[in-house]
Structure 1
Amino acid sequence: MLKRRSFIALALALAGCATPPVSTVPLASWEALQVQAGEQPLGIDKQASKLRAYIFRAGAAARLGHNHVLSATDFDARAFLGETGLSSARLQMDLQLDKLLVDDPTLRAELGGAFAKPLDADAIQGTRANMLGERGLQATVYPLLRLRSVKLVGEAPRLAALVEIELHGQRRQQWLVLRVNEQERRLTVSGSLVLRQTDFGLQPFSLLGGLLAVSDEIVVEFEIALVKPNAAAAATG
């Protein structure tokens, strides 16, 4: 145990000089979607909506590290149904990075497996500071993760979506699969995608020549509960 603690202490001591921060210029503002003629605006039920991101340990000494789960329910979403229904729908989601909850103990226990072990408060605070700080997401400069639909193909309950993602001052497009549960006054849209940190100019955390690291790939899952106008009063958003 002493050897393991010594290794982790060394890793934390080196973290401050592991990787120089990335310098990029903030993008022009991302304009919020506005309703267009023939569209039906949808409300968002924030209590029934959620986002989770999974970060995985890597490197030869991965067993000494931890997997991490980030979660959020307090994010903004705008959605509009077109005259032809889901195929012409438009969706935008904005998440303020400093509202991310890091390694919630209840959520870790629910996930089980390699996430089951709870982390102490100091470890969680250290992880949060590294992720959002100057050598990570630089959340004070780039405070938002944004996603918006570019093209939708298919029919409920499955659609293919081309989405544009903005993170850390850069934008990328990729395809993902959406699952749609449509009820009389409610739409639940869920999906998952893989973000590669290096695609957005981020350098995955790495120490001792990669002996202790995190994977470049981050798995993101989301579920957005949308409410049609007549039921919008029931939504919390």
Structure 2
Amino acid sequence: MYDPRFRPLVATLLAAALTAGCAGTPARPGPTASAAFPADAYRALAADGTVYRLDPAASSLQIIVYRGGPLAEKGHNHIIEARDFRGLVFLPDKGLDEARLDLAVPARGMVVDPPAARSAAGGAFAHPLNDEARTGTRANMLGPQVLDAGRFPQIAVHADDIRGALPWLVVRTTVTLHGRTRRLTVPVEVQAGTEGLTATGRLVLRQSDFGITPITAMGGLLRVQDTVTVAFRLVGRREGKEG
């Protein structure tokens, strides 16, 4: 049985996973307008390589959070999906020096524990959560104590430091959320062709690595584990082509 007292635990951890450590400061940042998406920059680069537009419908971007503690069975593991996002990738014809990525994720486009995702994951995630539990968790996630989507409606990811050699790349990203920016290095497998691109990767993050104390309840008998996982498979279509 889901206990609504535990909804803030999940929402707070989600913010931690997405920001890579930009939550949990005492001072609240001032309102910030979302930066314009840099589509013009990609149009200028297109003559020297290939631009791919990410397709949210064909992609998967999930944040996975885990229950913990002696009474872990009283809580739930959770899958948060980002479904509504905008993204562009540029791969130059020669080398990777000018390669770049931009991704914009509206906070309100994220979905909490979609039944199909839980069923596909199976195992400890197989049991579906009811609509009341999912709605309550999402409301807390978007509220002023966590993502504060009314003031900071967009999560932005930018990368222009991309190394390695296809298909194995090391992507150093800049993540901006809730008025703060952090750097995060991500290993990514990229399959790129004339018509499309697929980028696949998985991150393991610890809240404590970023100065965040994992949320606990009932004197620590129920808690969210320090470790969270971000899993993605991003599909891009070549700009200017039907796909």
Partner of 1:32: 37
Question: CA 1:91–1:98 in 2, change beyond 3 Å: closer, same or farther?
Answer: same
Residues 131-167 of structure 1, C-alpha deviations (whole Å, 9 max, x = no match): 2222222222222222111311111111111111122
Residues 150-207 of structure 1, C-alpha deviations (whole Å, 9 max, x = no match): 3111111111111111223221112111111123321111222244556778765432
Q: Secondary structure at the match of 2:134?
A: helix
Residue 221 (structure 1) aligned with residue 226 (structure 2): no
Partner of 1:126: 136
Q: Quick check: 1:22–1:201 contact (8 Å CA) kept in 2?
A: no
Q: Quick check: 2:7–2:137 contact (8 Å CA) kept in 1?
A: no
What pairs up with 1:97-108 in 2 under 5 angstroms?
97-108=107-118
Partner of 2:158: 148
Question: What is the CA-CA distance between 1:51 and the residue it aligns to?
Answer: 0.8
Q: Quick check: 2:7–2:136 contact (8 Å CA) kept in 1?
A: no
Question: What is the CA-CA distance between 1:104 and the residue it aligns to?
Answer: 0.8
Question: CA 1:199–1:128 in 2, change beyond 3 Å: closer, same or farther?
Answer: farther
Provide the C-alpha distance between the structure 1 equivalents of 2:183 and 2:25, rounded to a whole number of angstroms: 24
Partner of 1:182: 192
Report the count of equivalent residues: 224
Partner of 1:192: 202
What pairs up with 1:1-237 in 2 under 5 angstroms?
8=3, 11=5, 23-26=27-30, 29-33=34-38, 34-35=41-42, 36-37=44-45, 38=48, 40-197=50-207, 204-231=214-241, 233-234=242-243
The residue identity in structure 2 corresponding to 1:131 is: M
Q: Quick check: 2:52–2:197 contact (8 Å CA) kept in 1?
A: no
The normalised TM-score by structure 1 is 0.80
**Higher alpha-carbon Rg:** 1
Residues 31-56 of structure 1, C-alpha deviations (whole Å, 9 max, x = no match): 53323453543223332122111011
Q: Quick check: 1:162–1:173 contact (8 Å CA) kept in 2?
A: yes
Q: Secondary structure at the match of 2:66?
A: strand
Question: What is the CA-CA distance between 1:213 and the residue it aligns to?
Answer: 2.3
Residues 42-88 of structure 1, C-alpha deviations (whole Å, 9 max, x = no match): 22333212211101112332121001101123211022223425453
Q: Secondary structure at the match of 2:101?
A: strand
Question: CA 1:149–1:25 in 2, change beyond 3 Å: closer, same or farther?
Answer: same
- Report the identity percentage: 33
Q: Quick check: 2:99–2:160 contact (8 Å CA) kept in 1?
A: no
Provide the C-alpha distance between the structure 2 equivalents of 1:13 and 1:155, rounded to a whole number of angstroms: 42
Gaps of 5+ in 1: none
Question: CA 1:109–1:23 in 2, change beyond 3 Å: closer, same or farther?
Answer: same
Question: What is the CA-CA distance between 1:224 and the residue it aligns to?
Answer: 1.8
Q: Quick check: 1:92–1:147 contact (8 Å CA) kept in 2?
A: yes
Gaps of 5+ in 2: 13-23
Q: Quick check: 2:63–2:230 contact (8 Å CA) kept in 1?
A: yes
Residue range with higher mean Cα deviation, 160-169 or 108-117: 160-169
Partner of 2:15: none
